[in-house]
Structures are given as C-alpha cells and as structure tokens.
Amino acid sequence: MAANTRMATAVQILCVIAYKGAGGTNAEVISRSLQTNPVVVRRLLKSMEQHGLVTIRPGKDGGVQLAREPDTITLDDIYRAVEPEPEVFALRPIDNPKCPVDIRMKGLLGPIFRAADSAVQQTLNQTTLSTLVRAIS
Amino acid sequence: MAANTRMATAVQILCVIAYKGAGGTNAEVISRSLQTNPVVVRRLLKSMEQHGLVTIRPGKDGGVQLAREPDTITLDDIYRAVEPEPEVFALRPIDNPKCPVDIRMKGLLGPIFRAADSAVQQTLNQTTLSTLVRAIS
C-alpha cells in the first residue's frame, strides 16, 4: 500500500500537547511544529477527541489538552483513533463463484491478513506517549 | 493508511498460475478468476517477473509460468514484488529544526515503524504459495 504520514502526524500532535504540559496548547502552535495547515491538525484532533484521547476547548481562548495521562496512551490507541480501518492489507470480494481459486482466497488470506494487523498492533502497543515525550524533554 | 487489494490480487494471480500446473496459463484466464481487467493482471505480472517470481512468454501463444517452485515463494516475497515501498507507516521529514518535538520525531518513530514492518514481514514469511494452493486443490 502507499504508506501515508497520518500516523506520524497524529503522534507528533500528541507529543506537542504532552510536551507543552498541563495547560495544553492549540492547533496553531501544533501546526508550527509540523509546518502544516491548521486545518489538517484540527481534523486529526477531532478524530482523537472522538476516541477520547484529547479534549478540545472551543472559542477565542480555545485549545486542546490530553484527555488521559500520557502513560495510558499507546501508539496503537493513536493508530485506531486516526485510521478508520486500521488494516495493512485489504481482502478482495468473491467475484467469480465458479472459480475454485477465487472462492477460496478470502477464507485463506483473511487469517493471514488479520495476523499481520495483530502483529502491527502488538508492536504499537509496546510504546506509550509518555515514553516518547520523556525522550524529547 | 487506506489498505488496498494489490497484495490480495497478486497472491490470487500466483495461486491461479500454480493451480493450473506446469503448463502455465495467461493473463486472460487469470483476469476471469479475478473478474478484473487483463491490464491490471499484466501490470502485476510484470512486477512479479522483474522480481523473479514468474516467467512471461510473449506473443500469440504467450503465457505465464511460475519461475520458482511454489514452496519457495513466501507471501513476503509476493508483497515485496508488488509494493515498491513495503512500509506500513511513513515518516515525516524534519520541517521545523527549531521545534524540539519535530527534530526528535523521525528518530523516535523510525525504529518503531521499522519494527511494525518487520512484524508484518515475519507474518507473511510463515506462508508459502504451495500452502495456499494445497488448500485450494
């Protein structure tokens, strides 16, 4: 697949918030760290708010804070918060029921692709946001 | 990332070839199994030929055969043959050298992202084409 930087961007957003400390920060400050458009930052913040990782305070003095302690947020939590379908590989539908190969592929590849997703999940679960932030501070 | 079906399609192409046996087959037969355009099949076959997985015989009586025994072709070999950059996550470049978070992210996330790729590789290495084809026949 064409790997994208959404995961790296989301992790960096949370690292900036955690690095700024208890008072939190805002999308403009975060977007300067990333040198990207605040719209991109706000879109990812919204997803992470929906998944309980951050709290967004709207308005003129608005901002964003972590909703949980950084040592309880794993990289897998972040992945699931910003990827609607956190899958490495997609299966094909069964399109040709008359073909002995086609009718078996989904059943054969399903468990292997799920094992790949699970291996990624286990890897990401080994690191928390606090581990990263401690290495930055 | 948006997972795509390229890996599933490539595996199915090789399964059809292996299922057809020593005589091989051609892109039209494979495209009927997949119910997809022969152009898609030919493009993936070309990548797999470049990576030594298949032999393409051009011309009117042309066709395609496996270049190696199916028990020596792992799913990871197939993944690497059809994905120019077999990476689950992409790193961001360092865009803001003045930001203490930005300058550290690449170094911190690099080993984690490589571990995720390695976990996927290990999972895919556990299955060969012959294991799949035996389950079809």
Find, in chain B, the residue whose alpha carbon is nearest to that of A18.
B101
Q: Min CA distance, A57 vs chain B (Å)?
A: 23
Query: Within chain B, how many helices (H) and strands (E) appear?
Result: 6, 2
Contacts with A109 from chain B: Cβ below 8 Å: 8, 11
Write out the two tokens for A78: 């972040």
Q: How confident is the model at residue A2 (pLDDT cuts 50, 70, 90)?
A: low
Residue-range domains of chain A with CATH = 6-136 (1.10.10.10)
Q: Min CA distance, B59 vs chain A (Å)?
A: 26
| Nearest-by-Cβ selection for A92 from B8, B75, B120 | B8
ipTM: 0.94
> Cα-flanking dihedrals φ and ψ of residue B58, to 5°?
-75, 175
pLDDT tens per residue, chain B (137 residues)?
Answer: 457 899 999 999 999 999 998 888 999 999 999 999 999 999 999 999 999 999 999 887 889 999 999 999 999 999 999 998 899 999 999 999 999 999 999 999 999 999 999 999 999 999 999 999 999 97
* Binary contact (B33, A99; C-beta < 8 A): yes
| Nearest-by-Cβ selection for A120 from B104, B119, B135 | B119
Contacts of A92 (CB under 8 A, 6+ apart): A105, A106, B5, B8, B9, B12, B34
> pTM, whole model, 2 decimals?
0.92
Find, in chain A, the residue whose alpha carbon is nearest to that of B79.
A1
Contacts with B32 from chain A: Cβ below 8 Å: 96, 99
Is A34 an interface residue toward B (CB < 8 Å)? yes
